Structure 1
């Protein structure tokens, strides 16, 4: 089915919020508060663009014998426009970098937790305790001179 045949359900409705589109216009050099007609037209243009690209990606997936759309289908949809294709590829490369960084961080976090658990077990076996960490602080530990300095009082 052509995307224009489906577009009838979106006629007259805003698919993006006014603030989102106003910020987009402002980022590209428009005034801070654009006219409502400008926002409405931009909403229609963006909706039509996104529907046509999604339709092309769905068509590419269908030709490949799949029901689900993959990244390669969007690449195929953008093949005629190198600027869009480059931007899509850049976004997916950044996404892969972020995923790798999260995996590295998660691995390091797991290792730190394992090491801390091992040290705790060693301390329990030997019966030693870290006095400074387990000491409960009370009123007797307060330094009167430091407290006076913090409050701005004379000694």
Structure 2
């Protein structure tokens, strides 16, 4: 189905939640509880904008002979509006920074775990081995020890 033909499917339906759009309006200077008509109009505007950008990105991908849309296709779609293009580029740069930070953190955790395992092995080798088996104590043992102490103190 042609992407523009799909746009007619959502006419009259809200694609974003009322609460999200109300918060967006409030963040940009509107009242806390905007009129339902205002929210509906904003929903239509946002939906139309997103569909048009996705359509342009899809055309760029098809022109390149791909079925999947890539980041570069959105860059091409935003080429006429430098402020939108800058915001999209900023979001993807932040995403790359977050990904690098997660890899560094994961690598650091792996090194810490390896160091801890090596330290544990060194301690096991250094400690003298004894055939003494430690018995796990339960509550019954605690009671028996307490009774034995009590009897020993009385004598």
Question: What band does the TM-score fall into relative to the shorter chain?
Answer: 0.7 to 0.9
Regions of 4+ moved over 4 Å? none
Cα distance per residue 1:66-124 (max 9 Å; x no partner): 11100000000000000100000010011111111111111111000110111111111
RMSD: 1.1
Alignment of structure 1 residues 16-55 onto 2, 5 Å: 16-55=16-55
Which residue does the alignment assign to 1:12? 12
Distance 1:127 1:51 in 2: 69
Query: Normalising by the residue count of structure 2, what TM-score does the alignment of the two structures yield?
Result: 0.79
Distance 1:115 1:19 in 2: 49
CA–CA separation in structure 1 for the residues paired with 2:72 and 2:3: 21
- State the partner residue of 1:60: 60
1:68 and 1:6 mapped to 2: Cα distance?
18
User: Post-superposition shift, 1:2?
Assistant: 5.1
How many Å separate the matches in 2 of 1:103 and 1:49? 35
Matched position secondary structure for 2:30: coil
Q: Specify every segment of 5 or more residues in structure 2 that has no aligned partner in the other structure, as ranges.
A: 129-155
Matches within 5 A, 1:134-145: none
**TM-score if structure 1 supplies the norm length?**
0.79
Query: Could you tell me which residue of structure 2 aligns to residue 104 of structure 1?
Result: 104
Match of residue 152 from structure 1: none
Question: In 1, distance between residues paired with 2:60 and 2:127?
Answer: 67
For 1:30-79, what per-residue CA distance to the aligned partner results, in whole angstroms no more than 9, with x for missing partners? 00110000000000000000001001001100000111100000000000
Question: Where does residue 125 of structure 1 map in the other structure?
Answer: 125
Q: 1:125, CA displacement in angstroms?
A: 1.6
* Number of positions where the alignment pairs a residue of Structure 1 with one of Structure 2: 127
